[in-house]
Amino acid sequence: MGKIRISLLAKELGVKSNLLIDKCHEKGLSHITHHANTLISDQAEMIRQLFKPTPPITPAKEEPKVKETPPIRETEQKQGDKTVLQRSGSVKVVQPAKIVMIPKSQPLPQRMVKVAPSKTFWKKKRPSTVVPVKRKEPEVQVTDLQKPVVKEKETRVTMEPPITVKDLSAKLGIRANEIITKLLLGHNVRSTINQILAEDIVQLLGIEYGVEIEIKKKELVEERDFIAEQISTKAEDMVYRAPIVTFLGHVDHGKTSLLDSIRQTNVAAGEVGGITQHIGAYKVETNGKHVVFLDTPGHEAFTAMRARGANITDVVVLVVAADDGVMPQTEEALNHAKAANVPIVVAVNKIDKPDANPLRVKQQLASLELISEEWGGKTQFVETSAVTKKGINTLLERLLLESEILELKANPRNPARGVVLEAHLSEGRGVVANVLIQDGTLRQGDIVLCGKTFGRVRLITTDRGIEVTEAGPTTPVSVSDFSAVPDAGDKFYVVGDIQKAREIAQGRQKKDRESALAKHQHVTLDSLYSKIAEGKVKEIKVILKADYKGSVEVLKKALEELSTQEIKVKILHCGVGGITESDVLLADASDAIVIGFYVTTEDKARILAEDKGVDVRLYKIIYDATNEIKSAMEGMLEPESKEVVLGQVEIRLVYNISKFGNVAGCYVKTGKITRNSSVRLIRNTIIIYDGKLESLKIVKDDVKEVRAGFECGLKIANYDDIKVGDIVEAYEVQKFARSLPV
């Protein structure tokens, strides 16, 4: 009886594996939990029947009837001394021309034409002659479509900073002197006509003049302005692209040996040890398909690139030594991979060692929420050995399977775009950048924009050291030359205009200089409330380091228990030992707070934290750490609202005042009623209306409140249906500070 894998059946049916797994569950096949699970032929046929298409029934459409418009006819009729043009929809009245004779003794009006009798009129004065001018009265066309257009005053305008008094005057149509006077008297701001105003002052002035001013900062020309026009996502142009894989793991667990073993096994002898190490990536072919490996196995480099926005890795291989098990750096690498939100394949390496125990590795990783598919999880485990080459091909097959599930595709017809792996200044070639093309095709002569630099591609070299004229998707190459050395992690794009590339690069340089003066402000315990108020934070991300494993577990549990429905405490990474550069890099990339318990911060990490603006807190008492975060969280909680009844008022008389409405003469039975309190109108124990007071008086005097035992007059805002005997209940909503549960 034949079997078929879920991923292959999904590819056959043209659907997602997750959808296929759901259909299996609907049919009682609960053992199917992963795309690598298999179905027997009968089960597969049953699932195929669910995806058989049914022919759609399309109802016949009636052709819309076109309403014919009668032709416009025009007739001319004589009515006395007037000629009337009649046409469908309008009447045009043409007045006959009038001849006006003006005596010579009277001065010529503005519409008269004075004609000189000779060209030499300036030599000898001659009497001028008056020529009668035919003056036509304006033609009047009577039509219902002509209406006067009244231009409404703008109530919303958009301005770009910097904004001066002169700019504001021109935009609002208000004299500059008036604005300067208002600034001085109303805002205590002395200014001149060319002085740049603060944005909040500009918006306040707009409110005072009844105009909403939207300050829209001029955006730099970025790649999004032209990339969308260049990229084509037509299905017929898309082709399979190789997955990009990064190896992570603990020191001395065999990452480099495993990479070297893969390279020697699957790359021709002429390609071994070439320029691969300098490119930073290389391709491996298996079963007619390719896998691209990044030569940056250290998780610090992995996180540093992710911090720059270069999420280029499709799959992470977590390497764990079978004889050593999960170590602190293994757990740290796992947290980095989870933070990047990419699929993880576990390579249980050094399986050839006598004391290898792969079962212990699976158990340890299961406690870290990385469960093998053999145990009902979704993570693929492969036993490998760099010495005996065991499991190498299986690992490559699993990586290809993951790439099929991800449906990685690219369009070679697009202009190339990708990311810089590393760059340097070569003595013979100038600036050389080692890049990975993610989409499109890079050709010699292309104009490339890369971070704060730009240039024209003059030389393309593959990872094997071979010069080529073009390179397609998912290909690591070395290119030259650029105007300056780009940073690792910078994205590059092919553009059609070198002037545009220069403009964008210079704009980015300017932006970097400005941001150097005002660096990015990370979340701190002091700024947490303002971040929450702005809607920028929904959870507190914490990196936890302590002196002992037991302390880590206790502190982790105590912090996580502080979570509420409104704000969560999420532990991104926890470990034993001092605070390192890797911890600061992860906090910088994830906008987290670093908490250390009975540990110190390394010198390089301290300098890096100050440079990146990462908040590092050190404690010696667990309760100090939990109480400080608890206090910060309590300040972020929305205050609790509670309704308090102030008093009840009985309506005894109703007066109707013209242009004012119904006014109630009342008696305060209990408590009090205030001018600012909310009120309910109650009739026969049923709430008729809930609103606010418009006025509260004793006789003719306005008062702020009236207490029990006194009479008063009141008017309910926007409501007149009041009757004798109704009860007006006064209440207010009070807010109380909340605290976290003990």
Q: What DSSP assignment string belongs to 384-410?
A: --TTT-TTHHHHHHHHHHHHHHHT-EE
Do the beta carbons of residue 602 and residue 300 sit within 8 Å? no
Q: Is 475 annotated as a binding residue?
A: no
281's tokens? 């990536």
| 593 residue type, one letter | I
Do the beta carbons of residue 581 and residue 596 sit within 8 Å? no
Give me the phi and psi of 224, to 5 degrees please.
Answer: -65, -20
Q: Is 250 annotated as a binding residue?
A: yes
Q: Is 350 annotated as a binding residue?
A: yes
| 326 residue type, one letter | V
Q: How far apart are CA 614 and CA 447, in angstroms?
A: 37
Q: Is 489 annotated as a binding residue?
A: no
Q: What is the 3-state secondary structure (H, E, C) of 571-604?
A: EEEEEECCECHHHHHHHHHHCCEEEEECCCECHH
User: Hey, how many other C-beta atoms are within 10 angstroms of the C-beta on 403?
Assistant: 22
Do the beta carbons of residue 438 and residue 516 sit within 8 Å? no
Q: Is 601 annotated as a binding residue?
A: no
H or E, element range at 49: helix 41-50
719's tokens? 């409501």
Do the beta carbons of residue 668 and residue 701 sit within 8 Å? no
Q: How far apart are CA 376 and CA 30, in angstroms?
A: 11
Do the beta carbons of residue 259 and residue 293 sit within 8 Å? yes
Tell me the CB-side half-sphere exposure of residue 436, using CA atoms within 13 A: 30
Q: Is 251 annotated as a binding residue?
A: yes
Do the beta carbons of residue 433 and residue 482 sit within 8 Å? yes
Q: Is 481 annotated as a binding residue?
A: no
Q: Is 189 annotated as a binding residue?
A: no
Q: Is 297 annotated as a binding residue?
A: yes
Q: Is 713 annotated as a binding residue?
A: no
Q: How far apart are CA 386 and CA 321, in angstroms?
A: 11
Q: How far apart are CA 169 and CA 158, in angstroms?
A: 13
Contacts of 113 (CB under 8 A, 6+ apart): 131, 133
Query: Can you name the residues that pair with 93 across neighbouring β-strands?
Result: 84, 140
Contacts of 205 (CB under 8 A, 6+ apart): 168, 179, 182, 183, 197, 213
Do the beta carbons of residue 286 and residue 319 sit within 8 Å? no
Give me the phi and psi of 428, to 5 degrees please.
Answer: -95, -25
Do the beta carbons of residue 707 and residue 672 sit within 8 Å? yes
Q: Is 351 annotated as a binding residue?
A: yes
Q: Is 296 annotated as a binding residue?
A: yes
| 122 residue type, one letter | W
Q: How far apart are CA 542 and CA 575, in angstroms?
A: 12
Q: How far apart are CA 229 and CA 497, in angstroms?
A: 14
Q: Is 162 annotated as a binding residue?
A: no
| 153 residue type, one letter | K
Phi-psi region of 718 (alpha: psi -120 to 50; beta: other; left: phi over 0): left
Beta strands 90-94; 82-87: pairing state = antiparallel
User: Hey, how many other C-beta atoms are within 10 angstroms of the C-beta on 248?
Assistant: 26
Residues placed in the known binding site? 249-256, 295-299, 349-352
Which residue ranges make up the annotated binding site for GTP?
Answer: 249-256, 295-299, 349-352
